Amino acid sequence: VGLDWSWFIVFFLITWSLAAHYFPMNYPDWSPGLYWLVGLLTSLLFFGSVLAHELSHSLVARSTGTPVHGITLFIFGGVAQIAAEPKRPRDEFWMALAGPAMSLALALLFGLIWFGTRDANQPVAALASWLGW
């Protein structure tokens, strides 16, 4: 897994946007430190979600015998460096479906976390809400 230099720009911009604008606008009673902590954690989990999406493509590719050279995260998300075209159309179908299926599973997971914490832990619920939507 590699990180292109542009990933750091996006990571900073998302963290800053969440900590300086999104969370203060929606949760005005939090401390400034909490805005930055939750913004940082949300950004890390967001990029973890992008990585999980790309890993899903890669794992399915490998399971079909298609070689994968790696994954690179960059300004527009991520890319799995799949070395060759799949041998069968159904292999390509499952490879293509794997990433969105992982993203949907993560959205459902974050939605459940939001639902379970919305009344008990506002920072966790806020993080999960942003990631789930």
Helix (H), strand (E) at residue 121: none
Place of tokens 């967001």: 46
* 92 flagged as catalytic: no
CA angle 26/11/128 to nearest 5° reads 40
**Cα 17 from Cα 40, distance rounded (Å):** 10
User: Sign (positive/negative) of CA torsion 91, 66, 59, 14?
Assistant: negative
**Cα 30 from Cα 55, distance rounded (Å):** 35
Q: Which residue is catalytic, options 14, 35, 54, 127?
A: 54
Amino acid at 43: S
Please give the positions annotated as active site. 54
